[in-house]
Amino acid sequence: MPQTSPANAHHGTAMSGSPSCAVDVLLLGRAFGFSVLVVLLFAAPVWALGLVPQDGVPFFAAGIGASLVAALLAICVHGRFLDARAPAALNNDARLLAGRLQALLAVAFGVKLAVLVLGVVVLRQIGVKFEALATFCITFAAVSLVCQLATAGYLSRAVNHRVNRAPAAPRNAGTENAAERSGRPAEQDHQP
């Protein structure tokens, strides 16, 4: 049965029911959908303006498709960083948290690189000429970059939105601070 974490309870979104992972699958799906939309908004004018040679259009499309598959796999890896329970153990150690993020980004990069190499190997095996292979590779690289930027931007805004909307726990439960006693609004602490 899907569970809802306190961090996403106000969105009403379900997380994976897996006991080892508490990732908001709907958030990751929306991030991927947003990146696909951004890619299509960039790719459609490139194709419509004739910037891709007519005989290179299938390889242009293959580069987009392969990059979107790689982006989907990378988003699944990025979801491990957004695991609701994983960062909780690392909250007080920025070095461990940064190391975890770097490792997950490296794995996601490795996934993208593996998909690119696999695509090149398959295209070389079927006898594709260099020009078409270059179209595939350049398209893959461009779409991969656009997907990464769009996904990172979407996830960053979503996570920041959650943090800003989450109710802040009082620092000293049961006691009033000076601002509350004087009737002034208390300043909120900003946590990184």
Q: Which value, to the nearest 10 degrees, does the dihedral of the CA atoms of residues 96, 75, 162, 23 take?
A: -80
Residue pLDDT, tens place only, 117-140:
999 999 999 999 999 999 999 999
- The pLDDT score that the predictor gives to residue 102 is 81
Collect all residues with Cβ–Cβ distance below 8 Å to 136 and sequence separation of at least 6. Answer: 59, 60, 62, 63, 66, 119, 120, 123, 128
The amino acid sitting at 145 is L
Distance separating alpha carbons of residues 141 and 186, to the nearest angstrom:
48
Mean pLDDT, residues 96-112: 81
pTM of structure? 0.67
pLDDT at 184 over 80: no
What is the SS3 string spanning the chain?
Answer: CCCCCCCCHHHCCCCCCCCCCCCCHHHHHHHHHHHHHHHHHHHHHHHHCCCCCHHHHHHHHHHHHHHHHHHHHHHHHHHHHCCCCHHHHHCCCHHHHHHHHHHHHHHHHHHHHHHHHHHHHHHHHCCCCHHHHHHHHHHHHHHHHHHHHHHHHHHHHHHHHHHHHCCCCCCCCCCCCHHHHHCCCCCCCCCC
Residue pLDDT, tens place only, 27-66:
888 989 999 999 999 999 999 998 998 899 999 999 999 9
Confidence of residue 96 (pLDDT cuts 50, 70, 90): confident
